[in-house]
Amino acid sequence: MPAIRKHQNSSKVERKPYPGKSTSNNGRSKGYSNGAMRSIFAGCIMSLAGDFVTARNSPNCAYENIIKWIQGHGGFCSREVTPETTHLIVTIEEYKKKTAQVKKAIALGKRCKIVELDWIEDCLIGETGKKKKLATEGYSLSRVMKRLHYTDKQKKNYRNEFEDGVRAAEQFVDNKLHHVYTDPTGFEYKVVLNRITLNGKHTRQKYTVYLFESHAKPCTYMAAAKLSIPHMKNSYWKTECYPKIFAEAFVDFKIIFKQKTGVEWDDRLEPLPKGHGEQFFRFQRPRLGWPVGALPSWRKAPSWGEEEKTVDSCGESPNVSESESSEEENRGVVVQYTTVEESDYDSDSEVEIIDAPVTVAKKKKRQLPSPPSTPMVPKAPLVIEILDSSTESEGGD
């Protein structure tokens, strides 16, 4: 049987390569097969300020090289800061001097990001070998300068907080590579939930939910949890504790929070609904003025200007002890009682005042301008003089 020949379409036109480019590596241009020149800075207009060679002690950080890095990846460099400038790459020394370039960038506000050269390097040299435009929050000069002006005590506290986060990660991940995540508002994602059980014993259970962040950039995130019961060994939740992007890890964090509290993470500052089960853990919101974490646009964080709510963060009304409330009521009643007695009657009156327990109803009556209900004879000088004269006339007769 003769071999079947493949159908050949004579009308097919062979594509010609663009001039100056090669079609090797499956149609990709030669030298760009690994995406080495991706346009990650497309739409960015950057300006440079400061002596990077001296600051880095490296001749590779000259202006010419930095401009090549930016333009080679789709960005544009301008000599001066203009209203269209999106980023100002500056050294710390230049930022301290507040030069004209820096002042112009500050005047632009949020439209122009003032960052270190580390941002360019980390965008181009990633841990995974994949180039990506990173967020500028961790490279902002304002944040760096704020840490530089910390006092010794503030630096120590900042370091202790970071080390605490590293120690907390020891049971779940490699604490040399991860720490507890802190968002831009200063809220640490180490959320402690409490539950008190009364099944024959007074037992307080603590459930801690973590969101970890990697030291290396670009950062990876993972969620985990720990259950602590007195006189028992701690138990850990590590099912989804592996590196993820922030959005996926944050979803895991919120799922754990809702499973244990019965409340959505975005509703954590709201009063609990009626009939909330006692089997759930309770989240105690931070003190007023402390970071509460990022909130959606339809939620409002508590502020000093607002009046205190009659319901606390656990959904219960704050109870004042009966002794304190009764003392305050009695103190107010005594003040009202004494003012009425001093204004209506003379201190020399022979009418005896019988001490009796004062109630709230009597307090209201005391405040009325009407005379007291009990018959009390006030001192009348005119009547006394008539009585004295009559007695004297009888004695004379």
pLDDT digits (tens, 9 = 90+) for 37-83: 778 899 999 999 999 888 888 888 889 999 999 999 999 999 899 99
Contacts of 349 (CB under 8 A, 6+ apart): 376, 378, 379
pLDDT digits (tens, 9 = 90+) for 201-242: 657 788 889 998 888 888 889 898 888 888 787 887 777 778
Tell which residue, 245, 262, 169, has the closest CA to residue 210.
Answer: 169
Tell which residue, 226, 205, 208, 191, has the closest CA to residue 278.
Answer: 205
Rounded to two decimals, the pTM is 0.39
Q: Residue 31 corresponds to which amino acid?
A: G
Phi, psi (degrees; rounded to nearest 5) at 157: -65, -40
3-state secondary structure (DSSP) of residue 11: coil
**pLDDT at position 23 over 70:** no
Q: Residue 171 corresponds to which amino acid?
A: Q
Cα–Cα distance measured from residue 194 to residue 256, given in angstroms and rounded to the nearest whole number: 14
pLDDT score of 216 = 81
pLDDT band, very low/low/confident/very high, at 254 (cuts 50, 70, 90): very high
pLDDT digits (tens, 9 = 90+) for 84-126: 999 999 988 888 888 999 999 989 988 899 998 888 888 887 6
Q: Which of 146-150, 215-219, 283-287 has the lowest mean pLDDT?
A: 146-150
Domains of the chain by range and CATH?
45-142 (3.40.50.10190), 168-283 (no CATH)
**DSSP letter string, 313-366:** TTS-PPPPPHHHHHHHHHHHHHHHHHHHHHHHS-TT--PPPPP----HHHHHHH
Sign, CA dihedral 149-294-166-232, equals positive
pLDDT score of 129 = 63
Q: Residue 222 corresponds to which amino acid?
A: M
Which position has the token pair 């004209």? 100
pLDDT band, very low/low/confident/very high, at 310 (cuts 50, 70, 90): very low
Phi, psi (degrees; rounded to nearest 5) at 194: -125, 150
Cα–Cα distance measured from residue 386 to residue 397, given in angstroms and rounded to the nearest whole number: 17
**DSSP letter string, 137-191:** GGGBHHHHHHHHT--HHHHHHHHHHHHHHHHHGGGTS-TTTEEE-B-TTS-BSEE
**pLDDT at position 389 over 80:** no
Tokens of 211: 């969101």
Q: Residue 368, class by beta-carbon neighbours within 10 Å (0-12 exposed, 13-18 middle, 19+ buried)?
A: exposed
